[in-house]
Chains A and B, each alone.
Chain A
Amino acid sequence: MDTTSPAVFVNGALLRRYIGQKVRAVIQVIRSEIGSVVGKSTDDQQIVVKGSPQPPLTSYLEVIGIAESDNTIRAEVWTNFGDSFDAQNYNELCKLANGEFRHLFI
């Protein structure tokens, strides 16, 4: 795993700022396909995550990987975040970590 660059907290809207860079996002799984997982970002946008996570998957999933496009992430690391994760709080964290408190994160 590449530990040299930070993995920025992103939601759907922030993803496009980091194309080609490493990001982390929490998605609510909609469906698993072969070679990808379709999910909803914490700000309710549809995101496709490429890769094959180890089943079973919980409803919330954190992915760390490279932002490939406005709505695609190529995942390197998958972590089950359980079924009762507060997506709204995470979404606020994404905004703060890319805004006022950016310097603590990136």
Chain B
Amino acid sequence: MYGGEFDGNAAFAGGGFMPSQATTQANDSSSSLKNRDVRTLLPLTLKQLSSASTNGDSNFSVDGVDINTVAIVGRISRMENRITQVDFVVDDGTGWVDCVRWCQERQETEEMEAVKLGMYVRLHGHVKSFQGKRSVNVFSIRPVTDFNEIVHHFTECMYVHMYNTKLRGGSVAHGGSTTQATATPRPQMPYSTMPTSAKPYQTGPSNQFSNQINDPMHGVKQTVMNYLNQPMHLVSEAGVHCDIIARDLRIPPLQVRQAIEQLSSDGCVYSTVDDTCFKSTLNA
């Protein structure tokens, strides 16, 4: 069974964790991002929500991103307690939306009891459309106690809007083919860090980093790294003594030590039996 080629795409396609390669390549680039997008929590102003485009009863998108779960901060301007649910309206100053919070569990009821008419709240919920009317099915709600959160929320809305329209839009256009977009998916939400270049050297001796041209130690570090990445030094348990590196490379020992120190703090090398013997972290 395992003798043949292992088809990772087929194996994982049903799991829902890994986007299937076949699917992403067959469709246009926007759908390759879809798998990531449907699981996001998107901060929105209600103006954005009400002007979101729709292609059905429950498919909305803003800035080319599918909306599933949204984060809203606003004031409760109307509220009606019913037996199984609480219906309310949230107004964030840019618009308003009908919300419903189903209360079955005790915890849900308690959460809802903390919320009163006229309060500012932060809520997370699922956007749906029923008979052409948009509403939010709330699964989490809490009163805003630090009002800087309101400013923060709107700032975040602007940031995410800019991210989705400018930064990500740019990368898709630049990538052209879907393969590139698939190979390096851009983080869609602000909580992920921006892609940064890999740590220097770690991927092997042939790597070049343009930003290190100004580093006077760059040449020495690169040479030392190349030396330590040689197979015979990689397999050695004890690593190589600084002075031996200096002798073999014909570099002054002081410079070797400085280079090693920097490489060590960069996580590229580590000391072995004592403070003078070093080994590359490559394949470690």
Chain A residues within 8 Å of B, Cβ to Cβ: 1, 3, 6-9, 24, 60, 62, 64, 77, 79, 81-82, 85-86, 89-90, 93, 96-97, 101, 103-106
Contact = CB atoms under 8 A, between A and B. Distances in A.
B93 to A, nearest CB: 4
A106 B47 CA distance: 7
A7 B158 contact: no
Nearest to A81: B147
B151 A86 contact: yes
Interface string B233-263: 0000000000000000000000000000000
23 contacts: A3-B78, A3-B91, A6-B94, A24-B93, A62-B147, A77-B118, A81-B147, A85-B148, A86-B148, A86-B151, A89-B151, A90-B151, A93-B155, A96-B155, A96-B158, A101-B158, A101-B161, A103-B47, A104-B45, A104-B47, A104-B48, A104-B94, A104-B158
Interface string B86-100: 000101011110000
Interface residues of B, number: 23
A101 B157 CA distance: 10
A7 to B, nearest CB: 4
B158 A89 contact: no
Nearest to B93: A7
Contacts of A86: 148, 151
B154 interface: yes
A58 to B, nearest CB: 10
B61 interface: no
Interface in B69-90: 75, 77-78, 89
B105 interface: no
A29 to B, nearest CB: 14
Nearest to B120: A79
B61 to A, nearest CB: 15
Interface secondary structure of B, over-half rule: mixed
Contact of A97 (B77, B120, B154, B161): B154
Contacts of A9: 93, 154
Contact of A6 (B95, B146, B147, B154): B95
5 closest A-B pairs (Cβ-Cβ)?
A81-B147, A7-B93, A3-B96, A101-B158, A105-B94
B62 to A, nearest CB: 10
Contact of A79 (B75, B78, B157): B75
A82 B143 CA distance: 14
A79 B148 CA distance: 13
Contacts of A8: 93
Given A86-B148, A104-B45, 8 more contacts: A6-B93, A60-B147, A64-B93, A79-B120, A82-B146, A93-B154, A104-B161, A105-B93
A89 B147 CA distance: 11
A96 to B, nearest CB: 6
A8 B93 CA distance: 7
Most buried by A among B47, B91, B94, B147: B147
A60 B93 CA distance: 18
A86 B48 CA distance: 25
A105 B45 contact: yes
Contacts of A101: 158, 161
Nearest to A8: B93
Contacts of A7: 93
A68 to B, nearest CB: 18
